[in-house]
Copies of this chain bind each other. A is one copy, B any other.
Amino acid sequence: MVATVQRKRIEILVDTPLVPRIIAIAKKIDISGWSVIKIASGGGRDGRWDHDEITGAAAKSIVLMIASEEKAGSFADEVAPLLESHGLLITIGNVEVVRGDRF
């Protein structure tokens, strides 16, 4: 069977205008890459929210990053102070990455 390595799958739910700030932090701690997925709609403590708006300020995205456990930890530490003020939601899960030594 093909070789796999254990890595962290980090998912950050964030307002779209703040995505560059998240990426800047990821770059600082040298995470190798990221992917952004658009959220179509959602809801939380504020009640229902919809994306069908021309004002981009209300748009939300998921930033997805695969990283080593160590980098995932540094990332969480760096980003934690923004959690409240920026309304982030950060989850970290375990995944096997196929031939993933470069991450």
Contact = CB atoms under 8 A, between A and B. Distances in A.
B96 A95 contact: no
A99 interface: yes
Interface residues of A, number: 44
Copy count, this protein chain: 3
Interface string A33-63: 1111111111111000000000000001110
A102 to B, nearest CB: 8
Given A35-B41, A37-B37, A66-B91, 16 more contacts: A1-B77, A7-B91, A23-B43, A33-B42, A33-B43, A35-B39, A35-B60, A37-B39, A37-B62, A38-B40, A76-B98, A83-B99, A90-B98, A90-B99, A91-B96, A91-B98
